[in-house]
Amino acid sequence: MKNKVFSLVLLFFGLLLVSPAAFAQVEVKRSTETTRIGSKEYYMHHVTQGQTLYSISVAYNVTVEEIEKLNPEVKDGLKAGHVLGIPVRPMAEPKVEKPQEEPKVEPKVEPKVEPKVEPKVEPKVEPKEEPKVEPEPAVVPQAEPKTVVVEPAPRQVTAQKRAEGGYARVVRQGEDLYDIAKEFGIDISEFKFFNPGLSNTPAPGTSVIIPNVANENDYILHYCELNERVTSLLKRWKVDEAAFREKNVSVGSHVFMNQVVLIPIEPITDFYWMSDQQEEIVEAVDTPEPEPEPEIQPVISLDDIEDAPVCVARAENAQRCYKVALMVPLYLSGIGGLDVPKEKAAKSQKSRSLSFLQFYEGFMMAVDAMKEKTGLKLDLTVIDVIDNPVSAENAVSQIEGKDLDLIVGPFFGNAFEVVEEYAKAHNIPVVNPVSLRESVIENNPNVVKLRAGNMGLILTLSNLVKNVYPESNVFIVSREKAADSLFLTQLEHHLNMAINDQVTINGDDFLQFARHESERMEMGSQMVPTLDVEGQVYSVGDFESGASNKLVLENTVKRYSNSQMGSVRSQLSGVRNNLIIAYGDDNVFATQLLNSLTGTANRFPITLVCVPNWEKNEKLLVDNLLKMNAIYVANGFADYSSDEVKRFVLKFRSKYSTEPRHYAFEGYDVATYFLGALMNYGDEMLDCLHCYEPQLLYTNYKFYYKNYLKSVEETGKENLSWTLYQYDKDEVELRPLDPFKKEKK
């Protein structure tokens, strides 16, 4: 007995000696593994047992908020095995001194104190709350008879009159659109979709429709407008700057157009709409009925147009001298000319006043190349036209009577409208290089729109599926935005036209997936008895014995919102490729979707189509995109492995002492394409663009003979091709991908 007591005493003192070391925080060492995303470099930190966000933030000299922003999955808890992306930052930078109190191991003391205090506090708190809650139902009917108080809700929610697609609400005195959006947790773009033509400050008494969509987040997405600042955002949304900064760690004092910021709100988990019986009491509100959704028809043919004539290039067209006007916003009034000394060239490129200078420079390089190679004869007039109707009218006076063959520009809407009218009256083709508006080609058959829009996106993605992935398991995953609904319905319709109705899987592919699942479940030499394939369960033994040797799957496009990723994961296939078209370009959507798919990509073959312009989001980890064979969808892409691109870049650097950016490539492509089309088809150029597809440096142009996308007869030409590119098989270089070219098997 004495020996046992003595042993226990020794054990007790031993634990006292060991405990400080046992509970010491695990040391965090900086990873030597880094990756580059865009222009920024990130450490790839592998989390080990015992590490905390605070200890990791100290080791890397960043804030906990920065780690959480870049790696949203850690908000659900940090786990061993997580791989975190962390910005590379020198240790000398005093960044993380703020949360010194991290060793908050004080919760160990709290449990001893709180049980004694809580019973005493609760009786004192409850009586204070009840007087506040009880008077409200009595007061509310006097001030506003339409208000219904729901006790479980964090705030009062006004009962509304039911309307199609949502609920009607009347704007109160002193209220604007942002107040109502904040109250119901609705994005402004969502609000305006249900209320077309609604201004930001509707008059009191105006009836508005509240979409019946619950927002479970504690923020609203706001898409910044031109010249917007953080100070104006805070004033407009009536939010505290500290709360705004907590949600938007990386935002400075300025924001740029279409940048997405998070507006903090109280979380709204549900809408407590009134019951049908309560609705009868509310006086009727006249609300405009939303227009019925148009019936989706195959407005785009995925095959060549049968009635399109075949154009033939004529030799005499190449001998003509063509008169062309190039209208570029160069803002020369404060500079005096385009002749910039070579030693000042690099600096001038960064000036706002010469932000479009590279388009002009690229255009002129193409002109010089064509004169040398093809003997191009050109009478070119270059005019500085800014976003100003007066500037455009001045340009029109300069080209009056010149009998032009082509006008390129202007770039801005107000100026383009003036020049467009002149071009229509004089039957001159006019090219709009940058507008995204579909309406720019309406009522003028002479206008050519180069930036592909939604219809072009449908055509591009449909051809990608038809020519490259006809037997894939296709998903559309999108943001939850009502404004995207019609486009997504059309996309789904055309993708279903593009895929094969049935897909046959051979027995070897089925058994290979079965072996992969058996290894994953650590079953040794045994095989899983059954296998779930896209929601259907099959016997593995039937395939092993030869009783079954193939699998026939019905093939249809599946469409989900980003909140339904669980359903997406449950329907992924292990026996064929899964093509996931992710539609939405804001950082939050892209990050959340990638995080939800990253682990699944190790089990199922996934090809992720990033729509559109995900390449601008530098926060996305390239490793995750590589796992899913990501295909980028953008307005253009320069393949630096191409000999033509290399030659252009070297000449541009030599001539202008700076690196060519996208406007330089676009200017070169516009000149190459349209001057080449003139030399081939002359006055018949507009009717022959569907036959002309030369190899360009940065963009792809694809035109239909007729505009099948518009009901109006007098419409111009719209480019219907987006640019696709993907990492090569070695995951080293990005390469262009042609969706209109059928893949050879």
Over residues 288-324, the pLDDT tens digits come to 444 444 444 445 555 545 567 889 999 999 999 999 9
Q: Which of 137-151, 406-420, 456-470, 514-528 has the lowest mean pLDDT?
A: 137-151
| pLDDT of the residue at 58 | 81
- The pLDDT-based confidence of 338 (bands split at 50, 70, 90) is low
181 by DSSP, 3-state: which?
helix
Is the dihedral angle over the CA atoms 415, 418, 422, 428 positive or is it negative?
Answer: positive
- Give yes or no for a contact between 461 and 491, defined as CB atoms under 8 angstroms apart: yes
Q: Report the distance separating Cα 243 and Cα 354, nearest Å.
A: 38
Q: Which of 8-22, 324-338, 539-553, 653-667 has the lowest mean pLDDT?
A: 8-22
- The pLDDT-based confidence of 652 (bands split at 50, 70, 90) is very high
Quick check: 710 pLDDT over 70? no
Could you tell me the two tokens for 105? 């191991």
Q: How far is CA 198 from the centre of its chain?
A: 26
| pLDDT of the residue at 606 | 95
- The pLDDT-based confidence of 479 (bands split at 50, 70, 90) is confident
* CA-closest candidate to residue 524, choices 532, 512, 515: 515
For 127, residues 6+ apart whose C-beta sits below 8 A from its C-beta are: none
Percentage of residues of the chain with pLDDT beyond 90: 37
For 540, residues 6+ apart whose C-beta sits below 8 A from its C-beta are: 511, 514, 527, 528, 529, 530, 531
Q: Report the distance separating Cα 487 and Cα 476, nearest Å.
A: 12
| pLDDT of the residue at 90 | 54
Higher-pLDDT residue of 731, 4 = 731
Angle, CA 564 vertex, CA 560 and CA 569 arms, to 5°: 90
Q: How far is CA 613 from the centre of its chain?
A: 6
| pLDDT of the residue at 166 | 61
Over residues 93-143, the pLDDT tens digits come to 333 444 444 444 444 444 444 444 444 444 444 444 444 434 443 333 343
Average pLDDT over residues 242-248: 83
Higher-pLDDT residue of 74, 317 = 317
Quick check: 369 pLDDT over 80? yes
| pLDDT of the residue at 448 | 96
**CB-CB neighbours of 698 under 10 Å:** 24
Domains of the chain: 24-131 (3.10.350.10), 155-279 (3.10.350.10), 315-449+640-703 (3.40.50.2300), 505-514+522-554 (no CATH)
Cis bond upstream, residue 410 (ω within 30): yes
CA distances from 142 to 138, 146, 554, 595 (A): 8, 10, 60, 50
Strands 447-449 and 550-554: unpaired
Over residues 177-205, the pLDDT tens digits come to 888 888 888 877 777 777 777 777 788 87
* CA-closest candidate to residue 216, choices 168, 154, 146: 154
Higher-pLDDT residue of 35, 455 = 455
CA distances from 82 to 46, 51, 505, 592, 623 (A): 6, 11, 35, 16, 14
Q: How many residues does the chain have?
A: 745
Quick check: 381 pLDDT over 90? yes
Q: Hunting for tokens 């030399």 — which residue is that?
A: 679
664 by DSSP, 3-state: which?
helix
| pLDDT of the residue at 706 | 67
Higher-pLDDT residue of 708, 691 = 691
Over residues 393-427, the pLDDT tens digits come to 999 999 999 999 999 999 988 899 999 999 999 99
- The pLDDT-based confidence of 713 (bands split at 50, 70, 90) is low
- The pLDDT-based confidence of 615 (bands split at 50, 70, 90) is confident
* CA-closest candidate to residue 469, choices 607, 333, 367: 607
| H helix or E strand, kind and range, residue 667 | helix 662-681
- Give yes or no for a contact between 348 and 357, defined as CB atoms under 8 angstroms apart: yes
One-letter amino acid for residue 557 of the chain: V
106 by DSSP, 3-state: which?
helix
Percentage of residues of the chain with pLDDT beyond 70: 73
Q: Which of 25-39, 587-601, 650-664 has the lowest mean pLDDT?
A: 25-39
| pLDDT of the residue at 743 | 66
| H helix or E strand, kind and range, residue 37 | strand 34-37
Q: Hunting for tokens 């989001």 — which residue is that?
A: 617
Average pLDDT over residues 589-593: 87
Higher-pLDDT residue of 272, 577 = 577
Best-predicted range by mean pLDDT among 69-78, 151-160, 541-550, 709-718? 541-550
| pLDDT of the residue at 643 | 95
Q: How far is CA 126 from the centre of its chain?
A: 48
Q: Report the distance separating Cα 307 and Cα 218, nearest Å.
A: 55
73 by DSSP, 3-state: which?
helix
For 470, residues 6+ apart whose C-beta sits below 8 A from its C-beta are: 498, 499, 500
Packed helices 357-374 and 643-656: angle between N→C axes, nearest 10 degrees:
120
| pLDDT of the residue at 128 | 42
- The pLDDT-based confidence of 476 (bands split at 50, 70, 90) is very high
260 by DSSP, 3-state: which?
strand
> What is the 3 state secondary structure string of 486-524?
HHHHHHHHHHHHHCCCEEEEEHHHHHHHHHHHHHHCCCC
- The pLDDT-based confidence of 379 (bands split at 50, 70, 90) is very high
- The pLDDT-based confidence of 443 (bands split at 50, 70, 90) is confident
Q: What's the alpha-carbon Rg for the chain, to the nearest Å?
A: 32
- Give yes or no for a contact between 506 and 550, defined as CB atoms under 8 angstroms apart: yes
| pLDDT of the residue at 205 | 78
| pLDDT of the residue at 54 | 82
| pLDDT of the residue at 278 | 37
